Amino acid sequence: MMIQNNVKIYPIQLYTILFNAFGPQQWWPMDHTHHHQFNTDPRFEVMIGAILTQNTAWTNVEKAIHQLKQQNLLNINQLALADSLLVKQMIKPSGYFNQKTKRLQTLAQYLKEYYNSDLNSFFTQSLPILRKELLSLHGIGPETADSIVLYAAEKPIFVVDAYTKRLCTRIPLPINSQSYDDIQKFFQDHLSTHYSNHELVQIYNEFHALIVNLGKYYCKPKPNCAHCPVLNHCQFGKKNGKIS
Protein backbone atom coordinates (compact mmCIF):
# COMPACT_ATOMS: atom_id res chain seq x y z
CA MET A 1 0.00 0.00 0.00
CA MET A 2 1.38 3.40 -0.95
CA ILE A 3 1.60 6.18 1.64
CA GLN A 4 1.10 9.78 0.68
CA ASN A 5 4.11 11.77 1.81
CA ASN A 6 2.32 14.60 3.56
CA VAL A 7 -0.56 12.78 5.24
CA LYS A 8 -0.44 13.50 8.97
CA ILE A 9 -1.73 11.16 11.65
CA TYR A 10 -3.11 12.66 14.85
CA PRO A 11 -3.71 11.09 18.28
CA ILE A 12 -7.38 10.34 17.61
CA GLN A 13 -6.49 8.30 14.50
CA LEU A 14 -3.64 6.55 16.29
CA TYR A 15 -5.91 5.65 19.20
CA THR A 16 -8.51 4.17 16.86
CA ILE A 17 -5.91 2.10 15.00
CA LEU A 18 -4.39 0.71 18.19
CA PHE A 19 -7.72 0.03 19.88
CA ASN A 20 -8.98 -1.84 16.82
CA ALA A 21 -5.75 -3.85 16.71
CA PHE A 22 -5.36 -4.70 20.40
CA GLY A 23 -8.75 -4.15 22.03
CA PRO A 24 -9.27 -2.90 25.61
CA GLN A 25 -6.23 -3.32 27.83
CA GLN A 26 -7.95 -3.10 31.25
CA TRP A 27 -4.95 -1.44 32.81
CA TRP A 28 -3.84 -0.94 35.71
CA PRO A 29 -4.04 -4.50 37.15
CA MET A 30 -5.02 -4.77 40.82
CA ASP A 31 -5.66 -7.78 43.04
CA HIS A 32 -9.08 -6.82 44.39
CA THR A 33 -9.49 -10.18 46.14
CA HIS A 34 -6.37 -9.55 48.23
CA HIS A 35 -7.47 -6.04 49.17
CA HIS A 36 -10.96 -7.20 50.09
CA GLN A 37 -9.49 -9.93 52.29
CA PHE A 38 -7.11 -7.58 54.11
CA ASN A 39 -9.30 -4.45 54.01
CA THR A 40 -6.67 -2.44 52.15
CA ASP A 41 -6.96 0.10 49.32
CA PRO A 42 -6.21 -1.31 45.84
CA ARG A 43 -5.22 2.14 44.66
CA PHE A 44 -2.12 1.91 46.84
CA GLU A 45 -1.10 -1.15 44.82
CA VAL A 46 -1.21 1.07 41.72
CA MET A 47 1.00 3.64 43.43
CA ILE A 48 3.49 0.93 44.42
CA GLY A 49 3.48 -0.46 40.89
CA ALA A 50 4.08 2.97 39.38
CA ILE A 51 7.29 3.27 41.39
CA LEU A 52 8.42 -0.32 40.95
CA THR A 53 8.01 -0.19 37.16
CA GLN A 54 10.66 2.51 36.84
CA ASN A 55 13.45 1.15 34.61
CA THR A 56 12.17 -2.42 34.52
CA ALA A 57 9.69 -4.70 32.77
CA TRP A 58 6.23 -5.24 34.21
CA THR A 59 6.87 -8.97 34.63
CA ASN A 60 9.52 -8.08 37.23
CA VAL A 61 7.10 -5.73 38.97
CA GLU A 62 4.55 -8.53 39.24
CA LYS A 63 7.08 -10.71 41.07
CA ALA A 64 7.89 -7.90 43.50
CA ILE A 65 4.21 -7.11 44.16
CA HIS A 66 3.51 -10.81 44.76
CA GLN A 67 6.21 -10.89 47.43
CA LEU A 68 5.00 -7.65 49.04
CA LYS A 69 1.52 -9.16 49.11
CA GLN A 70 2.77 -12.20 51.01
CA GLN A 71 4.08 -9.88 53.74
CA ASN A 72 0.89 -7.75 53.72
CA LEU A 73 2.94 -4.77 52.55
CA LEU A 74 0.39 -3.48 50.02
CA ASN A 75 -0.80 -1.53 53.03
CA ILE A 76 0.17 2.07 53.70
CA ASN A 77 0.70 1.69 57.46
CA GLN A 78 2.50 -1.64 57.20
CA LEU A 79 4.85 -0.41 54.47
CA ALA A 80 5.55 2.86 56.29
CA LEU A 81 6.68 0.98 59.40
CA ALA A 82 8.32 -2.03 57.75
CA ASP A 83 11.99 -2.92 58.14
CA SER A 84 13.66 -1.51 55.03
CA LEU A 85 15.78 -4.67 54.69
CA LEU A 86 12.60 -6.73 54.38
CA VAL A 87 11.18 -4.35 51.77
CA LYS A 88 14.41 -4.49 49.78
CA GLN A 89 14.30 -8.27 49.77
CA MET A 90 10.66 -8.32 48.66
CA ILE A 91 11.10 -5.90 45.76
CA LYS A 92 14.48 -7.21 44.59
CA PRO A 93 13.01 -8.66 41.34
CA SER A 94 12.14 -5.13 40.18
CA GLY A 95 15.75 -3.94 40.30
CA TYR A 96 17.20 -0.77 41.86
CA PHE A 97 15.76 -2.07 45.12
CA ASN A 98 17.71 0.29 47.39
CA GLN A 99 16.38 3.41 45.66
CA LYS A 100 12.89 2.00 45.20
CA THR A 101 12.61 0.96 48.84
CA LYS A 102 13.34 4.54 49.89
CA ARG A 103 10.80 5.88 47.41
CA LEU A 104 8.08 3.44 48.47
CA GLN A 105 8.57 4.05 52.18
CA THR A 106 8.80 7.82 51.71
CA LEU A 107 5.45 7.72 49.93
CA ALA A 108 3.83 5.48 52.55
CA GLN A 109 5.18 7.56 55.44
CA TYR A 110 3.98 10.76 53.78
CA LEU A 111 0.45 9.41 53.30
CA LYS A 112 0.39 8.11 56.86
CA GLU A 113 1.61 11.36 58.40
CA TYR A 114 -0.29 13.93 56.34
CA TYR A 115 -3.42 12.03 55.25
CA ASN A 116 -3.88 9.48 58.02
CA SER A 117 -3.36 6.78 55.34
CA ASP A 118 -6.62 7.85 53.67
CA LEU A 119 -6.30 7.88 49.89
CA ASN A 120 -9.78 9.36 49.49
CA SER A 121 -8.54 12.46 51.27
CA PHE A 122 -5.36 12.54 49.20
CA PHE A 123 -7.07 12.02 45.85
CA THR A 124 -9.91 14.51 46.33
CA GLN A 125 -7.47 17.35 45.68
CA SER A 126 -7.52 19.07 42.32
CA LEU A 127 -5.39 17.52 39.60
CA PRO A 128 -2.73 20.30 39.54
CA ILE A 129 -2.30 20.27 43.33
CA LEU A 130 -2.21 16.48 43.53
CA ARG A 131 0.36 16.26 40.73
CA LYS A 132 2.54 18.97 42.29
CA GLU A 133 2.44 17.20 45.63
CA LEU A 134 3.43 13.88 44.11
CA LEU A 135 6.31 15.51 42.23
CA SER A 136 7.59 16.93 45.51
CA LEU A 137 8.16 13.42 46.90
CA HIS A 138 11.50 11.63 46.61
CA GLY A 139 11.94 9.64 43.41
CA ILE A 140 8.63 10.55 41.79
CA GLY A 141 9.03 12.17 38.38
CA PRO A 142 6.43 13.22 35.81
CA GLU A 143 5.73 9.76 34.35
CA THR A 144 5.34 8.13 37.77
CA ALA A 145 3.24 11.00 39.12
CA ASP A 146 0.97 11.03 36.08
CA SER A 147 0.52 7.24 36.24
CA ILE A 148 -0.68 7.64 39.82
CA VAL A 149 -2.94 10.58 38.94
CA LEU A 150 -4.51 8.72 36.00
CA TYR A 151 -4.71 5.12 37.17
CA ALA A 152 -5.12 5.52 40.94
CA ALA A 153 -6.82 8.92 41.33
CA GLU A 154 -8.72 8.53 38.02
CA LYS A 155 -8.10 12.10 36.93
CA PRO A 156 -7.64 13.02 33.24
CA ILE A 157 -3.95 13.31 32.46
CA PHE A 158 -2.02 11.73 29.60
CA VAL A 159 1.01 9.66 30.59
CA VAL A 160 4.07 10.06 28.36
CA ASP A 161 6.74 7.36 28.31
CA ALA A 162 9.66 6.28 26.13
CA TYR A 163 7.30 4.38 23.81
CA THR A 164 5.25 7.54 23.22
CA LYS A 165 8.33 9.60 22.44
CA ARG A 166 9.52 6.93 20.00
CA LEU A 167 6.18 6.95 18.17
CA CYS A 168 6.19 10.73 17.92
CA THR A 169 9.56 10.54 16.15
CA ARG A 170 8.99 7.49 13.97
CA ILE A 171 5.50 8.01 12.52
CA PRO A 172 6.03 11.00 13.02
CA LEU A 173 3.20 12.74 14.82
CA PRO A 174 2.92 16.46 14.04
CA ILE A 175 4.89 17.64 17.07
CA ASN A 176 8.49 18.76 16.83
CA SER A 177 9.58 18.15 20.41
CA GLN A 178 10.79 15.38 22.70
CA SER A 179 9.85 17.32 25.84
CA TYR A 180 7.57 15.43 28.23
CA ASP A 181 5.41 18.50 28.82
CA ASP A 182 5.15 19.39 25.13
CA ILE A 183 4.15 15.86 24.11
CA GLN A 184 1.64 15.62 26.93
CA LYS A 185 0.08 18.97 25.96
CA PHE A 186 -0.07 17.91 22.30
CA PHE A 187 -2.01 14.72 23.09
CA GLN A 188 -4.28 16.40 25.63
CA ASP A 189 -5.07 19.41 23.45
CA HIS A 190 -6.03 17.16 20.55
CA LEU A 191 -8.00 14.51 22.45
CA SER A 192 -9.86 16.99 24.64
CA THR A 193 -11.57 18.35 21.52
CA HIS A 194 -13.08 14.90 20.88
CA TYR A 195 -14.01 13.70 24.38
CA SER A 196 -15.51 15.06 27.59
CA ASN A 197 -13.44 15.23 30.79
CA HIS A 198 -15.27 12.17 32.09
CA GLU A 199 -14.48 10.21 28.92
CA LEU A 200 -10.86 11.35 28.86
CA VAL A 201 -9.97 9.35 31.97
CA GLN A 202 -10.83 6.13 30.15
CA ILE A 203 -9.33 7.29 26.84
CA TYR A 204 -6.01 8.29 28.42
CA ASN A 205 -6.01 5.03 30.38
CA GLU A 206 -6.53 2.88 27.29
CA PHE A 207 -4.30 4.97 25.03
CA HIS A 208 -1.26 4.78 27.29
CA ALA A 209 -1.69 1.02 27.72
CA LEU A 210 -2.14 0.55 23.97
CA ILE A 211 1.04 2.51 23.22
CA VAL A 212 2.94 0.39 25.75
CA ASN A 213 1.64 -2.75 24.04
CA LEU A 214 2.73 -1.45 20.65
CA GLY A 215 6.15 -0.50 21.99
CA LYS A 216 6.74 -3.86 23.66
CA TYR A 217 5.92 -6.01 20.65
CA TYR A 218 6.40 -3.89 17.53
CA CYS A 219 7.87 -0.42 17.88
CA LYS A 220 10.94 -1.61 19.78
CA PRO A 221 14.41 -0.03 19.56
CA LYS A 222 15.01 -2.66 16.86
CA PRO A 223 11.53 -2.51 15.34
CA ASN A 224 9.33 -5.38 14.24
CA CYS A 225 7.63 -3.46 11.45
CA ALA A 226 6.29 -6.33 9.35
CA HIS A 227 3.11 -6.92 11.34
CA CYS A 228 2.81 -3.56 13.10
CA PRO A 229 -0.77 -2.20 13.01
CA VAL A 230 0.60 1.31 12.41
CA LEU A 231 2.84 0.28 9.52
CA ASN A 232 0.72 1.83 6.75
CA HIS A 233 0.84 5.19 8.51
CA CYS A 234 4.50 5.16 9.51
CA GLN A 235 7.15 7.13 7.62
CA PHE A 236 9.89 5.32 9.54
CA GLY A 237 8.65 2.00 8.17
CA LYS A 238 8.42 3.43 4.68
CA LYS A 239 11.97 4.84 4.74
CA ASN A 240 13.31 1.53 5.92
CA GLY A 241 11.71 -0.28 3.02
CA LYS A 242 9.17 -2.15 5.12
CA ILE A 243 6.29 -1.20 2.83
CA SER A 244 5.99 -0.23 -0.80
Per-residue pLDDT tens for 14-36? 999 999 999 999 999 999 999 99
Can you give the pLDDT at residue 237?
86
Mean pLDDT of 171-189: 96
Mean pLDDT of 159-182: 96
What is the number of helices (H) and of strands (E) in the chain?
Answer: 14, 0
Cα–Cα distance for residue pair 50/58, rounded to 1 Å: 10
**Banded pLDDT at 243 (limits 50, 70, 90):** low
Can you give the pLDDT at residue 238?
81
Percent of the chain with pLDDT over 90: 91
Per DSSP, the residues of 182-202 read: HHHHHHHHHHTTTS-HHHHHH
Can you give the pLDDT at residue 2?
35
pTM score, whole prediction:
0.93
- Given a contact cutoff of 8 angstroms between Cβ atoms, the answer to whether 28 and 48 are in contact is no
Can you give the pLDDT at residue 4?
41
Domains of the chain: residue spans and CATH: 11-26+160-239 (1.10.1670.10), 32-152 (1.10.340.30)
- Given a contact cutoff of 8 angstroms between Cβ atoms, the answer to whether 112 and 78 are in contact is no
**Banded pLDDT at 41 (limits 50, 70, 90):** very high
Can you give the pLDDT at residue 244?
45
Can you give the pLDDT at residue 7?
65
Cα–Cα distance for residue pair 164/214, rounded to 1 Å: 10
Residue 202: pLDDT above 50? Answer: yes
Mean pLDDT of 41-46: 98
Residue 5: pLDDT above 70? Answer: no
